[in-house]
């Protein structure tokens, strides 16, 4: 039995380190193993260095570093399984949450929004990224890896776009547009280019490409074309202009029939009427850039659209003040047992767009006028 000196042990350890074994655990294991072999197999007065050189070659095919590579590979493999499991669990959870949330939504029961938001968030921020990491590990070619990243990016922006849309959060349209543009003009061309070149992926690429295109096409079918939007805006504006003219006519008639031509019988009614007119003017200005629009709106290119005005109202101090004052006045007004009470649904709406705002304010004014007429 050979007796190893401390010097020889240090020599072996240095040699193992020099040859690409960096994990300390592995260094110590290999050191002990080689020492055991030498002690068992080398004669007492044998040639240490020669025997060591010969022995170490048994450990590998090309180089010693292979052992560390293999160890790292197996360790990653373990993470691979854990990730796969997490991905599956998060996928099932998010789909269940979303489905259950939808059921609650249609049954009009509480908890629907929370479940839906959590489900979509889990899907976008855990399931999809994990799927991407796992797919990236499977793919070896750089172009394939890039495709996976592009696809997952599209999917995340698209799901988030829909989530933002249903939650009325800002940026929803931007997210959806980015998702669609990326899918149609970056991912798809690249996907086709990459897949159609190889005979083995040709058919699959063509089929999935068609499915993706049809999917995007169906989404776009649901959207309104710019031409229709313009036509609708013209109709809405026409309605608004006419409503405004009718209102003015009613106002004139009442004032003429009244002996005290200028003053309102109920001062609060006058205040409400004036506040509505001010806010309407602000909204019209916000949308068109002018204070009022008439019959020639189309020629001048001034139409009212679907801008959300509640944010603007809330953020402009004097308008916000008017908006609040109007609510208080209406509440007090309705309490006074008037014959036509004012409906104020625009104050309760989650989002107010130009059309609804103008329409709602005119309705308030007409209710006030109707009451004046009855006095």
> Is residue 75 within the footprint of another protein (CB under 8 A)?
yes
Distances (CA, A) of 229 to 98, 240, 289: 32, 16, 19
Task: Give the DSSP H or E segment for 17.
Answer: helix 6-18
Residue whose entry in the numeric block shows the structure tokens 């590990």: 137
Among 26, 83, 121, 277, binds another protein (CB under 8 A): 26
35 vs 329 by CB, closer to another protein: 35
Compute the distance between CA of residue 281 and CA of residue 73 in angstroms, rounded to an integer.
70
Compute the distance between CA of residue 13 and CA of residue 28 in angstroms, rounded to an integer.
8
Query: CB of 162: closest distance to another protein in angstroms?
Result: 40
Query: CB of 88: closest distance to another protein in angstroms?
Result: 19
Query: Which residue, among 82, 114, 79, 85, has the nearest Cα to 98 in the 3D structure?
Result: 114
Query: CB of 165: closest distance to another protein in angstroms?
Result: 44
Query: CB of 139: closest distance to another protein in angstroms?
Result: 23
78 vs 350 by CB, closer to another protein: 78
- Restricted to residues 29-68, the positions that interact with another protein (CB under 8 A) are 29-33, 35-37, 58-61, 66-67
Residues 6+ apart with CB under 8 A from 163: 116, 117, 120, 121, 124, 169
Q: Note whether 286 and 307 are within 8 A (CB).
A: yes
75 vs 206 by CB, closer to another protein: 75
Query: Which two tokens mark 196?
Result: 């159609």
76 vs 173 by CB, closer to another protein: 76
> Is residue 14 within the footprint of another protein (CB under 8 A)?
no
Distances (CA, A) of 256 to 43, 235, 260, 268, 272: 128, 32, 9, 20, 20
For every residue of 192-239, DSSP letters joined together read HHHHHHSTTTHHHHHHHHHHHHHHHHHHHHHSPPHHHHHHHHHHHHHH
29 vs 194 by CB, closer to another protein: 29
Long-range contacts made by residues 328-333, C-beta under 8 angstroms, separation at least 24?
A: 329/268, 329/271, 329/272, 329/275, 330/272, 330/364, 332/268, 333/268, 333/269, 333/272, 333/368
Query: CB of 32: closest distance to another protein in angstroms?
Result: 5
28 vs 263 by CB, closer to another protein: 28
Query: CB of 43: closest distance to another protein in angstroms?
Result: 19
> Is residue 9 within the footprint of another protein (CB under 8 A)?
yes
Query: CB of 111: closest distance to another protein in angstroms?
Result: 38
> Is residue 77 within the footprint of another protein (CB under 8 A)?
yes
- Restricted to residues 221-260, the positions that interact with another protein (CB under 8 A) are none
> Is residue 10 within the footprint of another protein (CB under 8 A)?
yes
> Is residue 163 within the footprint of another protein (CB under 8 A)?
no
Query: CB of 29: closest distance to another protein in angstroms?
Result: 5
44 vs 318 by CB, closer to another protein: 44
30 vs 362 by CB, closer to another protein: 30
Binding site for another protein (CB under 8 A): 6, 9-10, 13, 23, 25-26, 28-33, 35-37, 58-61, 66-67, 70-71, 73-75, 77-78
């Amino acid at each position: 039995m050979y007796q190893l000196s401390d010097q020889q042990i240090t020599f072996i350890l240095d040699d193992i380190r020099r040859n690409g074994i960096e994990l300390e655990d592995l260094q110590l294991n290999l050191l002990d193993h080689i020492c055991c072999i030498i002690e068992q197999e080398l004669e007492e007065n044998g040639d240490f260095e020669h025997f060591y050189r010969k022995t170490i070659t048994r450990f590998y095919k090309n180089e010693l570093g292979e052992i560390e590579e293999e160890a790292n590979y197996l360790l990653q493999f373990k993470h691979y399984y854990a990730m796969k499991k997490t991905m599956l669990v998060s996928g099932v959870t998010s789909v269940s949450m979303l489905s259950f949330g939808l059921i609650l939504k249609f049954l009009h029961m509480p908890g629907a929004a929370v479940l839906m938001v959590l489900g979509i968030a889990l899907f976008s921020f855990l399931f999809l990224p994990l799927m991407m990491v796992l797919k990236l590990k499977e793919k070896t070619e750089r172009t394939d890896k890039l495709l996976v990243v592009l696809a997952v990016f599209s999917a995340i922006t698209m799901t988030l776009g829909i989530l933002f849309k249903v939650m009325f959060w800002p940026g929803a349209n931007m997210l959806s547009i980015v998702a669609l543009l990326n899918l149609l003009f970056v991912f798809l061309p690249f996907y086709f280019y990459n897949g159609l070149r190889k005979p083995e992926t040709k058919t699959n690429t063509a089929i999935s490409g068609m499915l993706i295109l049809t999917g995007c096409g169906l989404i776009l079918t649901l959207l309104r074309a710019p031409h229709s939007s313009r036509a609708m805006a013209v109709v809405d504006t026409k309605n608004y202009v006419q409503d405004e003219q009718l209102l003015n006519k009613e106002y004139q008639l009442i004032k003429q029939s009244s002996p005290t031509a200028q003053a309102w019988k109920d001062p609060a009614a006058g205040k409400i009427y004036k506040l509505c007119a001010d806010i309407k003017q602000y909204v019209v200005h916000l949308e068109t850039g002018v204070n009022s629009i008439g019959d020639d709106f189309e020629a001048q290119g001034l139409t009212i659209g679907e801008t959300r005005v509640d944010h603007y109202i809330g953020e402009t101090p004097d308008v916000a003040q008017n908006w609040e004052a109007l609510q208080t006045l209406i509440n007090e007004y309705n309490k006074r047992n008037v014959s036509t009470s004012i409906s104020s649904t625009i104050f309760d709406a989650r989002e107010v767009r130009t059309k609804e705002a103008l329409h709602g304010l005119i309705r308030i004014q007409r209710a006030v006028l109707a009451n004046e007429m009855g006095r």
